Every structure is written in structure tokens, then in C-alpha cells.
Homo-oligomer: A and B are copies of this chain.
Amino acid sequence: MDKKVLLIGGNGYVGTAFREFLETRQISFQNLSRKDFDYYKVEALSQVIKDYRPDVLINCAGYTGKPNVDACESHKDECLLGNAVLPGVISRVCEMNQLPWIQISSGCIYTGNTPDGSGFKETDTPNFSFRSGYCSFYSGTKALGEEVLRDDANCYGLRLRIPFNEKDSPRNYISKLLRYDRILNAVNSLSQLDEFVKAAWQLYMNDCPKGIYNLTNPGSVSAKDVIDMIQKAGLSNKEFSFFENESDFMAKAAITPRSNCVLNTDKLVAAGIKLRPVEEALEWSIKNWKAAQSAGV
């Protein structure tokens, strides 16, 4: 049976990937961009749902800060609005209309790894949030966003983490490593963007239990691991330079601390959703790399 999707924020980095996925699969959708539509208005959003009658809503809108999360420190209200208020508004509207929906959440509400090295589970309390006392303002708002949705039984809260694929983009992790002057060598779980989108769709189509999912490729890699792959594949011959450590990075390049963390993907696997191991997904993306036309940097 054909599905109809209501997409919110389908013009951003993640939203574009969802749009392209739906277009390729010839799945009908309507895209609400903030420029054209005030999706913060409960009544207006509810009316669109009544008119368009979607089967599922996907919210890709959020405030990430440009060029990076440091910008959130000086745009705190917009950051709160996009990451914590908006999920609440959509949650209310979806509950009123009995509509299942997908929220793009984030793994950046953790820092580090669990003592046993197996990564943070969905049931672990965020340790990089306002409530934990230490975080960036961005991560604080994303953790509040999950808190706002805690009682939502209609929602898939899917934690994306440092997206990448084979297409050059300012938001792509591989592009960032290629362009940054100096790199912090941290260990992270990552999400191959197109696998993320496909998995999100599968969770919904397979009627998997609603709730929070760490939606990253299994495993974790250090920035140096990825640079090794980039160099082996001959994608760049530049001399990569590194910060000594996190304090060096904070002192020289950042306003607010970054989340670097490892997530556990057992829940996703148990739901029957398979993503390639992170190394495989990275090697494939690097091998099939498409530099942006305009990339003069």
C-alpha cells in the first residue's frame, strides 16, 4: 500500500537525504520548509495533516549552528526553539491526529564510552546535557528535546551521529576532515547518512516498537583511522595536523566543548535493522567520493 509522508525541514542536510530517498522510491511526500510555513503553530500544522492525510511525519528540522555548534552559544533561543520546542509541538500535533512520526535526535548527548567499552545504550542517562552539568548549549537542547518526547508513544526518536556519505558537503564528516586545518583525534560512532535514512524508513515500515534508537553504523572509529583510509585511497595527499588533546583543541579552535562518544547499536540490531560496520561504510564512501563542483577550499 502506498504511503504518504509529511516532511518537515526537508531542505537541510538530513532533510535533503530523506527527500532524495522518497523521490527515488516514488513515495509521495509534502515538504514543509520554515520559509513557506510556520510549523510551530499547532493549529496550522494540524490543518495540513487533516488536508494532506499523511501516514507518517518525519521531522528533519532542527538548529545545528553554522558553520558549527559554536554558533549555538550565541543563538541560544533559536537553538532551544528548533531542538526542544519544535519536537514538543510536533508531538502534540501527532498525538491529536494519531499520527506516527520520526524525530531526528542526536547521539551528541553523551561523551566518552561506557566503562566496559560497549557504548552508551538508549537506556543510559545522557552525560553531556544540561542536567549532567557539562555540555555545549547545542547538546543541552538536544537532550531537552528527548526529555520533551519521553511520554510520546507515537514517535521514533532516531539518534543520528556525525553523518557522512560519498557526497562532499559542509556537513559531511569526510569533507570536514579533508578541509579542517587541524583535527582533534577523537573516537566516535558515526552514521552513514543514506543508511540512516533507509533504516529510519524500515523501522517505520516494519512497525518496529516506537521509542529512542541509536541509529549509527555499528562500531566506532578515531579521526586518525578515517584519515588513514582517506590517505590509503589517495583522496588527499595533504599533511594532516592534529591538536595535542581536547584542551589544546578547546584553547585554540572551539568556544564550546564537543561531544565525542561511542553508541551501542544492539537495540537497532535486535529490531532487525542492519547497517554496514562503520569501517566498511567509510571505505565505500571514500572510494565512491564525489567532490562538490564548487569545492575550492
- A residues contacting B by CB (< 8 A) are 40, 76-78, 80-81, 84-89, 91-92, 129-133, 140, 144, 147-148
Contact = CB atoms under 8 A, between A and B. Distances in A.
Contacts of A78: 88
Contact of A80 (B131, B132, B144): B144
Given A130-B130, A140-B130, A80 B85 contact: yes
Contact of A77 (B77, B88, B131): B88
B85 A81 contact: yes
Q: Which 9 A-B pairs have the closest CB atoms?
A: A77-B88, A130-B130, A76-B148, A77-B85, A81-B85, A80-B85, A80-B84, A130-B131, A131-B133
Nearest to A133: B131
Nearest to A41: B38
Stoichiometry, as copies per complex, reads 2
Given A76-B144, A130-B144, 15 more contacts: A40-B40, A76-B148, A77-B84, A77-B85, A77-B87, A80-B85, A80-B144, A80-B148, A81-B85, A85-B85, A130-B131, A131-B131, A131-B133, A132-B133, A133-B133
Contacts of A131: 130-131, 133
Contacts of A129: 130
Contacts of A130: 129-131, 140, 144
B77 A92 contact: yes
20 contacts: A40-B40, A76-B84, A76-B147, A76-B148, A77-B84, A77-B85, A77-B87, A77-B91, A77-B92, A78-B88, A80-B84, A80-B88, A80-B148, A81-B85, A85-B85, A129-B130, A130-B130, A130-B140, A131-B131, A131-B133
